[in-house]
A and B are shown apart, each in its own frame.
Chain A
Amino acid sequence: MTETTTASQGSQPSQPSQEFEKVLSGSATQVASFDTHDKTPIQKFQHFLHSSPAAVPLIVLVLSVAIFGVILGGKFFSAFTLTLILQQVAIVGIVGAAQTLVILTAGIDLSVGAIMVLSSVVMGQFTFRYGLPPTVAVLCGLACGALCGYINGLLVARMKLPPFIVTLGMWQIILASNFLYSANETIRSQDISSQAPLLQFFGNNLKLGSAVFTYGVIAMVLLVALLWYVLNHTAWGRHVYAVGDDPDAAELAGVNVKRMLVSIYTLSGLICALAGWALIGRIGSVSPTAGQFANIESITAVVIGGISLFGGRGSILGMIFGALIVGVFSLGLRLIGTDPQWTYLLIGVLIISAVAIDQWIRKVAG
């Protein structure tokens, strides 16, 4: 700086307040109060949605059940049909729980379906190829899923590779390993039920009148309830949101971001392995070609459930509502007898609307 600028600085009054600050003498003296000004109903609604992210999918779910109920009457609106929808979304719901955790960190996991299938194949092959007790084989399958997730987590957190790329690669690697290891061989359902019924554990069911709850459905509900508790009422859960929201801020505030990411991906892998076990219960056999679309279906459930792909926002309950919306549409349209392509078309519309609504809700921060 030169003498000229110094001189011009000197011409300013050296009093504490600047000239332009004089208007402040008449202004409010509170330090920083919270705004309470009236909002229009639309703004109130926007704020409500901002603070309750699962509200939109819940409303859509209730509406779609009501509409199909009116159109189809008792054929749709029966305990049997409604619980059938639950059975059909059980696998997607469990995988969706894993996907939710990853997406909350602003990541994405394309390998969930592959981890699920590989884990189920490990459970099956360890029992039938090596003759291990089914309990041990199931534990090995769960460990296999957790290991796959751990590798994803290491690559994302330590190597700082983008989650999309890491899981795209792992998807191919795990799926190929699955086919190589299993030699593309299916283990038949009757062999499993006669020799290792534990593998089909989640296919058992509870009947209440005409309502049928498979153990897979119960597992999905319990898992989502448990994760809801963990995400909202434990420090680890709050850190999941903080890491997805702003990792630098979380790090400065004292969250170990790398360790969080590794633990989240590992847990996600473990949950996928659980889905693999439930998958055996659902289809009866162990098939290396099952669950091909689980990754896309789980992402669909998460997005329709109002969880932001940018991380840090959304509720795991939204994911389950999203999965149920897809289930209700699929079964409802099939019962009406339309071309199944209409289901995909409507789901596509739902996905885009859900993301548009998410963008609108996030403007509340403006």
Chain B
Amino acid sequence: MEPILTAPILTARGLVKRYGRVTALDHADFDLYPGEILAVIGDNGAGKSSMIKAISGAITPDEGEIRLQGQVINFRSPIEARKAGIETVYQNLALSPALSIADNMFLGRELRKPGVMGQWFRKLDRSAMEKFARDKLSELGLMTIQNINQAVETLSGGQRQGVAVARAAAFGSKVIILDEPTAALGVKESRRVLELILDVRRRGIPIVLISHNMPHVFEVADRIHIHRLGRRLTVINPKDYTMSDAVAFMTGAKLPAEAIAA
């Protein structure tokens, strides 16, 4: 991999989060660089989901500092994080099953018609929203044009994941966090979603990928952040290490070279 010369887009320093006597985050650090796919792995209870929640606004850390493009940020809710450009695709996808694909993509940020109809009658601009949704899905190769007004519940698991990822990628977002995007999918659909993730990166949006699936992580990630005991143990390049090394670091069976040196 080429050495990264640019500044990280999203950083966290010294994050601490305690739940009673349990310390979920113990001075954790995090760095995401522009245009990369950063996988986050860690054993259950290592605190990786607490860290991701802190970054996506779902929890507020007790200590530490998060910066987006150099600016210190303090999110109180996922909505605030989203407004700042950090989109999270949750494991349950946060789609409304009975609403259409277009309605779901614009849920909470609907477009209104220009002029009197929009201003006074609050009329939604259906055609513009449908066109936008169709364009975004096509851009990601998600669409052999079909009915954009189809209810999301009539789609397969992979297609739903596709809609959720397209929604995250559609609104000028700066960072996309994907939480276990392939966990609920079959082999074939996982493959398609991985291709989709690579497509999103090609469009220049950096991705944080949380996954338990080592082969998937090693296939698409540019760097792998290994979380252990509430903090970042190390970041490895998947080309320099094997999956068994990664698992060994994750579980504490082995220590990475720099950790030994330090």
Number of A-B residue pairs at CB separation under 8 A: 155
Residue contact B126 to A31, C-beta cutoff 8 Å: no
Contact of A1 among B92, B97, B146, B251 (CB under 8 A): B251
Closest to A20 in B: B187
Q: Are A248 and B94 in contact (CB under 8 A)?
A: yes
Complex: how many Å from CA A108 to CA B82? 33
B96 contacts A312, CB within 8 Å?
Answer: yes
Check B235 for interface membership: any CB of A closer than 8 A.
Answer: no
State the CA gap A21–B194 with chains docked (Å): 13
Q: Which of B3-11, B33-41, B46-54, B154-162 contacts A (4 or more CB under 8 A)?
A: B154-162
Interface size class of B (residues with CB under 8 A): 35 or more
Instruction: Name which of A109-117, A145-153, A204-212, A234-242 contacts chain B.
Output: A234-242
Please name all residues of chain B whose beta carbon is closer than 8 Å to the beta carbon of A30 when the two chains form the complex: 141, 144, 192
| Least CB separation from B150: chain A residue | A34
Which residues of chain B have C-beta atoms less than 8 A from A241's C-beta? Answer: 96, 98-99
**Does A218 belong to the interface (CB within 8 Å)?**
no
The winner among A5, A24, A32 for most chain B CB atoms within 10 A is: A32
Within 8 A of B (CB), among A5-52: 5-7, 9-10, 12, 14, 16-18, 20-21, 23-24, 27, 30-36, 47, 50-51
Write out, one digit per residue, whether chain B residues 91-111 have a CB within 8 A of any chain A CB (1) or not (0).
011111111000110011110
Q: Is B128 an interface residue (CB 8 A)?
A: no
Measured between alpha carbons, how far is A5 from B193 in the docked complex, in Å? 28
Q: Are B108 and A253 in contact (CB under 8 A)?
A: yes
Q: Which residues of A contact B122 (CB under 8 A)?
A: 230, 233-236
Residues of A close to B73: CB separation below 8 A: none
Contact partners of B203 in chain A: CB under 8 A: none
A34 to B146, Cβ gap below 8 A? yes
- In contact, B96 and A234 (Cβ under 8 angstroms): no
> Which residues on A sit within 8 Å (CB–CB) of B159?
32, 34
Asked if residues B98 and A253 are in contact (CB atoms below 8 Å), the reply is no
Docked pose: A32 CA to B162 CA in angstroms: 7
Identify the B interface with A (CB < 8 A): 43, 78-79, 82, 90, 92-99, 103-104, 107-110, 112, 121-124, 126, 140-144, 146-147, 149-151, 153-156, 158-159, 161-162, 187-189, 191-193, 195-196, 199, 214-215, 218-219, 242-244, 247-248, 251, 253
Identify B144's interface contact among A6, A33, A47, A51, CB under 8 A: A33
Instruction: Give complex CA distance A296, B52 in Å.
Output: 48
Task: Decide if A16 touches B97 in the complex (CB within 8 Å).
Answer: no
Partner of A248, one of B92, B126, B253: B92
Q: Give Cα distance in the complex from A301 to B58, angstroms.
A: 41
Q: A336 interface residue, CB < 8 Å from B?
A: no
Among A31, A235, A248, the residue within 8 A (CB) of B192 is A31
CB distance from B91 to the nearest CB of A (A): 11
